[in-house]
Amino acid sequence: MNVIEQIEKDRLVPVFFDADPARATAVLEQCYAAGIRSFEFTNRGANAAEVFTILKQKVKESMPGMFLGIGTIWNEEEAEHFINLGAEFVVSPVVNPAVADACARHHIPWMPGCMTPTEVYQAKVSGASVVKIFPGAVMGPAFIKSLKAVFPAMKFMVTGGVTTEHESLKKWFEAGVSAVGIGKELLQKEVRETFGFIQSL
């Protein structure tokens, strides 16, 4: 199973950063134990590369089937750096064709953040595997439904303000998202319970 297939199967991507390697590892282990097999560690701290390297080693040692990706990638240099560290997918807040090119060279899925139909189109023609709709809390499920009408084949993952309330999650999937990305909100709740509910939709 490749990265995109796994994300579509899981339907949930944890989005997380912690500068403490022990805490970051504990969260990764918790998600893996719950059955989640794709995890986005975000590039949001001075030692993000160091922590990512530790997480990658943990995956190699004891987490078969886990896809570890990197988020908050703004430019080509960052993309190349983390791909060389073993990132298996790259998530960006914006549509930067240079990041798309770096991912294409390494055959790594690229998931840019978009907020308008024009940005979705630019992402599509630049080779996006999945389009991240961000911030989800601002756009809402009705926006996803409208996008799917004009981009029926495009895979969407919504992040930013996505909560773990069952009714809210149900509305996102009914609108047509392939997956949701959830950060601290997920980790304040019972990961296994949330993941189990998503799998039942």
**pLDDT tens sequence across 141-165:** 999 999 999 999 999 999 988 999 9
Cβ(102)–Cβ(79) below 8 Å? yes
Residue 31's DSSP bridge partners are none
Displacement of CA 65 from its chain's centroid (Å): 16
**What pLDDT shows up at residue 108?**
96
Task: Report residue 168's pLDDT band, with 50, 70 and 90 as the boundaries.
Answer: very high
**What pLDDT shows up at residue 137?**
87
Strands 131-133 and 67-71 turn out to be unpaired
How far is 24 from 142, CA to CA, in rounded Å? Answer: 34
The SS3 assignment for 68 reads: strand
Task: Report residue 189's pLDDT band, with 50, 70 and 90 as the boundaries.
Answer: confident
23 backbone dihedrals φ, ψ, rounded to 5°: -70, -40
**What pLDDT shows up at residue 1?**
81
**What pLDDT shows up at residue 43?**
98
Give the DSSP H or E segment for 53.
Answer: helix 48-62
CB hemisphere CA count around 102 (13 angstroms): 25
Using a pLDDT cut of 90, give the percent of the chain over it: 91
**Taking the model in full, what pTM does it have?**
0.95
From first CA to last CA, the distance across the chain in angstroms is: 21
Residue 192: CB atoms within 10 A of its CB come to 14
The residue-averaged pLDDT of 163-191 equals: 91
Question: Which has the higher per-residue pLDDT, 139 or 103?
Answer: 103
**What pLDDT shows up at residue 190?**
82
Cβ(100)–Cβ(110) below 8 Å? yes
**What pLDDT shows up at residue 186?**
86
pLDDT surpasses 80 at 173 = yes
**What pLDDT shows up at residue 187?**
80
Q: Any residues with CB less than 8 A from the CB of 77 and at least 6 apart, and which?
A: none
139 backbone dihedrals φ, ψ, rounded to 5°: -80, -50
The residue-averaged pLDDT of 162-184 equals: 94
Lookup: tokens for 188: 């304040």
DSSP string, 19-39: S-HHHHHHHHHHHHHHT--EE
